[in-house]
Amino acid sequence: MRTALAALVLVPALSAQLNWLTHKDYFVPALTLSGIGVGRSGMSDTMLSRRTELMIQSQTFSILRDPQALAGAERITSPRLRKIFADASKSSGLPASFISAIAYLESWGRADVQSSAGPKGIMQIAQATARSMGLQIVYATKYRVVQERVAVRKKGSKKTTTVVRKRKVPYTVLVRDERLIPEKAVPAAANYLARLEQRYGSRDWAVWAYHCGEGCANEVRTIAQRSDLDEPATVARVFFGAHPGRNRDLYRSLQHHMERDYSPTYWFRIRRAEQLLELYEENPEEFRKEFNDYRYRINPDQRAPHRLTVWLKPDDLAYRTCEDMRRESGTSLVRALDDPKFFGFSLSKAIGQDDPANREYYLQASQASIGTIAYIAYETRRLHEAMKVKGERFVPLEISSLVRPLDVEERTLDAKSELPSHCSGQVFDLSVASLPPGEREALEFVLADLGFNGYLGFVRESENGTTFHVGPAPTARDFFSRLYQEALDKSRTSD
């Protein structure tokens, strides 16, 4: 992963040749990450391939954070299912590894799974789709006898009396559902996927249609055809070919489907699932080690809610008191850069306000964190410029929290559900409350884009909150630390 990350770093000589790096009155790093934000425009085939591979690798968290991932790998590679996948491969012409990866993600290899939305079985097939695949779903009508009390009038009298009558009430029962029989469901799904591949001309769009529906895939493809994308319009080219300042209709469509069911990233997850299943078969112990690396420390039996909860280890939570923060000042902790106009971010006055005597220590973080902030601000500013939102000017991003000692965090967090991440010095809070709508959109896109590449993790503080918790990935801390040093040097020069 570290090698792949390095592949997207532009060397200074190349960066200097880019037009957007000249004549800027704000911080523009010499080392940048290619293809991020507005950099998606005009990506070469080589860069698209690199971004695709990074996207595939970043899906590891989405898969292994689930506590069922290990048991699922054991089921998928069992002799019974392996034979079913091999037979389905022969009938459909699709690789067995591809078919098994879909079963892995859809059900963790369980035949009895039923989604609340309706799909069932190892391949999570909807009822209407099952019938088009030729799978039988048979219902039978049965009857039950119910008793009812009915008021009847006596003959020749106005008085009524109550009598008990019996009647039959029909109801349906499921007699046979072949979606729940892997020997039937897997080959049917594989043949269906093969037909989709033939219809769309590629496996990646067949996967999209399988997950989202053909109507969904057709809609996105139609919008993509109206855009300025090069051919062939693969799923990867379409996904990385839009941002808020380019191909906006396509961008909005992709955002809609991401919010609905993450279909735009499903192809990348399938690719990573294939790799992980191959790893399990070749080296089960290595798979288990990686699986354990993605456990949620607060409750290993639950899915990790976001990347920061698995990236931060107990040893990272180093600053227990203000004295620890004071002692590490200037070494593992550095003072945050404070030049909003130049660097594009400001430090909230609320930082450390509850401990004014030690406020200077709350204005620190790791070099990697400060470098991450500077880079987010840089990418957000240039994307916002490209969007050309009428009536908007760039507003420096507000950093509302940096390092905090553990004893302070423990007084405010729910120990059963929240990780005291700020005492690591690797996490900061970013508020969007004061940002204009266009800039907020640009920022959230940049955060997602850096997350897709595995450079950082972030989570919104609450469902509709205006604060994000953000932290650099362990594998990216070296890059962001170097970027901090560059920013520090430029701040001294500008002074």
Give the whole-number percent of the chain exceeding pLDDT 90.
78
Query: What residues contact residue 98 under an 8 Å CB cut-off, 6+ apart?
Result: 203, 270, 274
Q: What is the structure's pLDDT at 158?
A: 74
Distance CA 174, CA 127 (A): 12
Give pLDDT tens digits for 247-289.
999 999 999 999 999 999 999 999 999 999 999 999 999 999 9
Distance CA 188, CA 182 (A): 9
Q: What is the DSSP letter of 410?
A: H
Tokens 């204005």 sit on residue: 363
pLDDT band at 69 (very low <50, low <70, confident <90, very high): very high
Tokens 């009038």 sit on residue: 153
pLDDT band at 191 (very low <50, low <70, confident <90, very high): very high
Residue 12 in this model has a pLDDT that exceeds 50: no
Domains of the chain: 2-8+14-31+299-494 (no CATH), 53-124+181-274 (1.10.530), 137-179 (no CATH)
Sign of CA dihedral 156, 161, 166, 167: positive
Distance CA 200, CA 332 (A): 53
Q: What is the structure's pLDDT at 418?
A: 63
Encoding tokens for residue 22? 């000249």
Stated pTM of the model:
0.88
| Alpha-helix residue ranges (DSSP H) falling in 234-307 | 235-240, 248-261, 266-282, 284-293
| Alpha-helix residue ranges (DSSP H) falling in 11-112 | 12-15, 45-64, 69-76, 79-92, 96-107
Encoding tokens for residue 1? 């992963």
Query: What residues contact residue 2 under an 8 Å CB cut-off, 6+ apart?
Result: 475
Encoding tokens for residue 216? 């969904």
Give pLDDT tens digits for 422-435.
999 999 999 999 99
Q: What is the structure's pLDDT at 24?
A: 75
Q: What is the arithmetic mean of pLDDT over 455-461? A: 94
Distance CA 83, CA 81 (A): 5
SS3 270: helix
Identity of residue 148? E
Q: What is the structure's pLDDT at 464?
A: 84
pLDDT band at 463 (very low <50, low <70, confident <90, very high): confident
Cα distances (angstroms) measured from residue 356 to each of 322, 323, 349, 421, 428: 12, 14, 11, 22, 19
Give pLDDT tens digits for 149-170.
888 887 777 788 888 888 899 9
Q: What share of the chain is helix, strand, coil (3-state, %, to 5)?
A: 55, 15, 30
**DSSP output for 175-217:** EEEGGG-HHHHHHHHHHHHHHHHHHHSSHHHHHHHHHH-HHHH
Query: What residues contact residue 219 under an 8 Å CB cut-off, 6+ apart?
Result: 253
Q: What is the structure's pLDDT at 1?
A: 46
- Mean pLDDT for all residues in the chain: 91
Residue 492 in this model has a pLDDT that exceeds 80: no
Four-CA torsion 449, 197, 116, 292, nearest 10 degrees: -50
Tokens 């008191």 sit on residue: 321
